[in-house]
Amino acid sequence: MPKIVRFHKLGGPENLQIETAASVKPGTGEVRLKVQACGLNRAESMFYHGQYLEQPQLPARLGYEVAGTVEAVGEGVDKSWLGKSVSTIPGFSMNRYGTLGEEAVVPVTALGEYPANLTPVEATAIWMQYLTAYGALVHYGGVRAGDFVSIPAASSSVGLAAIQIVRDAGATAIAVTRTSAKRDQLLALGAHHVIATAEEDYVARMQQITGGMGARLTFDPVAGPFVETLASAAAPGGIIFEYGWLSGLPTPFPLFVALGRGLTVRGYVLMEITMQPELLARAKQYVVERLASGRFVPKIARTFPLVQTVEAYQYLESNQQVGKIVITVP
């Protein structure tokens, strides 16, 4: 019987339990994976805290990104998937398709074959990260050479993916972080500039970096009161993408700055990409080509064995990491 991770009440990672469960037969349009590695995301932390877009149906599984091999297919699924090495693309409900554990059943539409130059651990650090950043910065934002792009929470796996996408477009990546503790790592990972908001005046530094132009694109998962500061350093006609709520604080709309500069403050979620098959196909091609060529390189912060799932999520919530945290499955 495979081991899976579930929680029976809302709260912190200490509520996560490793349990055994009967193996699940994939239904119509589904596949079952033998899991090799599981990538962790802030979305899961918000989910077990009861702060995510959907409320958990207890007892609940969790997990969006795993890598493994297809060991069974359901009705209507091409049998050529059997035996393939794949990783999962977030675009489903965790209430229905939690993936963290030794086995995962997911819709076949959530599968992505990853380039052969990646390991299973690295393959858990590509879809949430690069597709999220692609949707905002490339598809909607049209990032281009000459742009200045502000990237709060830049040390997250999505933030690092955004840095790579911005550099690939010939634009300037401005990593935004709370303190200077991660400055050297962010610069080594491709950021052109780093602003530590607890130690520096964000608006003044942005004016200095951009020569007074401001950021045409801002890619922010933090939200909260700092949005007003982000707006004050945005370029006329700029776009601020809000794709998360890490602050957990009320988020004001910067009305007067927005009026004066014609700003767009836009809510954005990855499902805007993953729920549109044609758009998802283009996004996958964009990411895979750059991974295969080495232009994009996923950054793994740390790995934990499955038995240390609680510790892995505690580390996620500590904000110490630079890159993706991954749970390995024997």
pLDDT of res. 53: 85
Closest CA to 277 of 89, 27, 124: 89
Q: How far is CA 145 from CA 61, 238, 283, in A?
A: 43, 15, 20
- Are the C-beta atoms of 14 and 312 separated by less than 8 Å? no
- Cα-Cα-Cα-Cα dihedral sign, residues 45, 49, 52, 58: positive
Q: Measure the CA–CA gap between 27 and 77, rounded to whole angstroms.
A: 10
pTM, full prediction: 0.92
pLDDT at 91: 87
C-alpha–C-alpha distance, residues 328 and 21, integer Å: 19
Q: What is the mean pLDDT of each run of 10 residues along the chain (330 residues)?
A: 96 97 96 98 95 94 97 97 96 94 97 96 96 98 98 95 98 97 96 98 98 98 97 98 93 97 97 94 97 96 98 95 94
CB contact at 8 A, 70 and 33: yes
Distance between CA atoms of residues 189 and 211, nearest Å: 24
Helix H or strand E encompassing 232: helix 226-232
**Domains of the chain and any CATH numbers:** 3-125+298-328 (3.90.180.10), 128-269 (3.40.50.720)
Beta bridge partners, 14, equal none
pLDDT at 38: 98
Beta carbons of 288 and 294 less than 8 angstroms apart = no
Distance CA 281, CA 50 (A): 32
| E strands, 158-214, in order | 172-177, 193-196
Query: Each residue of 220-253: pLDDT tens digit?
Result: 999 999 999 999 999 999 999 999 998 989 999 9
